[in-house]
Amino acid sequence: MSVSIKSLNRSFVKSNQTVQALQDVNLHINKGEFITIIGPSGCGKSTLLKIIAGLDLHFGGSVKIGNADLKGPGIKQGFIFQEHRLFPWMTVEKNIAADLSLRDPEIRRKVDELIEIVRLTGFEQSYPRELSGGMAQRVAIARALLRNPEVLLLDEPFGALDAFTRTHLQDVLLDIWKNKGTTMILVTHDVDESIYLGKRVVIMSPRPGRVSNIIPIDLPFPRKKVNRSFQELRQKVLEEFEKADEFILVEGSGI
Ligand code: ADP
Ligand code: MG
């Protein structure tokens, strides 16, 4: 499903001060596209994802999922947070099923299939405390996928993981994206990750939070991080990212 964002504004009032978290954000994400969003801390990335997820309806402007105006959280949008948010008292398979019953043969079949996809076979009965960070995040991915989301929103999902696990999970995501055609919107602060996954990299700048640039990544999948054109794009994204960061200094010095 496509996501269409027009003239999006969101501000917060905190102890009599107004923070413009998002200002005039315009972004059209095609059905089945993989978009990555990168930008310095505080530029409104999480706010943007929460709005697309339907978790925050106090915004100005318009957000459409497919052709429909956003009305609230729905089964169309799945959300994966930076920390896995699993239930500690539930096994892996129960965490994936959550409010759905494993006694339902269709759910059972899908949960088993997802456990295989995220490579957790043998850990169905384990508890979150017995899992590594990467494994727990794979459970969270399976839980989101069980609901067959048409749009998957990922807020710095691999930020806390080591480089090896991170690369593995990036490939898991690309597999799912290829096989299911899910529209993916992933927020990251890792430039390599943004280029490795995204068909377009959206760069945001803070205060007020807005889209400062969109860089298309015309590299075929699977991508190689050591490749020369990858490195050139890396340079380009870094330069734009730095511009977005400099903006804070310029603005900050004026106050
Ligand atoms: P990012 O995810 O890019 O780091 P956020 O979307 O979390 O940025 O925040 C953007 C800005 O909005 C920040 O200045 C933050 O302090 C502010 N903000 C976000 N959520 C709230 C909230 N619930 N109440 C007040 N201010 C908020
Ligand atoms: Mg955030």
pLDDT surpassing 50 at residue 85: yes
Total domain count for the chain?
1
Asked whether 12 lines ligand 1 (CB < 6 A), one says: yes
What atom in ligand 1 is closest to the CA of residue 48? Answer: 6
Q: Which residue has the higher pLDDT, 51 or 250?
A: 51
Residues forming a β-bridge with 141: none
Distance CA 249, CA 255 (A): 10
Structural domain contains residue 193: yes
Query: In this structure, which residue's CA is closest to atom 20 in ligand 1?
Result: 47
pLDDT digits (tens, 9 = 90+) for 191-247: 999 999 999 999 999 989 999 999 999 999 999 999 999 999 999 999 988 887 765
Question: What's the predicted TM-score (pTM) here?
Answer: 0.91
The pLDDT value recorded for residue 79 is 92
CB 204 within 8 A of CB 211: yes
The pLDDT value recorded for residue 31 is 96
pLDDT surpassing 80 at residue 75: no
The pLDDT value recorded for residue 253 is 42
pLDDT digits (tens, 9 = 90+) for 150-192: 999 999 999 878 888 889 889 989 999 999 899 999 999 899 9
Range of the domain at 68: 3-81+150-240
User: Which tokens in the block code for residue 147?
Assistant: 């609901």
User: Which tokens in the block code for residue 202?
Assistant: 């959206």
Above pLDDT 70, what percent of the chain?
96
Give Cα 184 to chain centroid, integer Å: 7
Q: Determine the distance separating the centroid of ligand 1 and the alpha carbon of 57, expressed in angstroms.
A: 15
The pLDDT value recorded for residue 247 is 56
Distance CA 167, CA 229 (A): 19
Structural domain contains residue 245: no
The pLDDT value recorded for residue 161 is 83
Residues 6+ apart with CB under 8 A from 237: 38, 191, 194, 195, 201, 203, 215
Structural domain contains residue 119: no
Structural domain contains residue 45: yes
Distance CA 79, CA 180 (A): 16
Structural domain contains residue 188: yes
The pLDDT value recorded for residue 73 is 81
pLDDT digits (tens, 9 = 90+) for 102-117: 999 999 999 999 999 8
Residues 6+ apart with CB under 8 A from 192: 225, 234
Q: Can you tell me the mean pLDDT for 17-30?
A: 96
> What is the torsion angle, in degrees rounded to the nearest 10, for the CA atoms of residue 213, residue 42, residue 174 and residue 92?
-170
Structural domain contains residue 129: no
pLDDT bucket at 128, cuts 50 / 70 / 90: very high
CB 114 within 8 A of CB 96: yes
CB 186 within 8 A of CB 198: yes
Average pLDDT, the chain: 91
Above pLDDT 90, what percent of the chain?
76
The pLDDT value recorded for residue 248 is 54
Q: Determine the distance separating the centroid of ligand 2 and the alpha carbon of 39, expressed in angstroms.
A: 10
Helix (H) / strand (E) containing 165 = helix 163-180
Residues 6+ apart with CB under 8 A from 250: none
Structural domain contains residue 58: yes
Ligand index nearest the alpha carbon of residue 38: 1
Structural domain contains residue 232: yes
CATH number (domain holding residue 26):
3.40.50.300
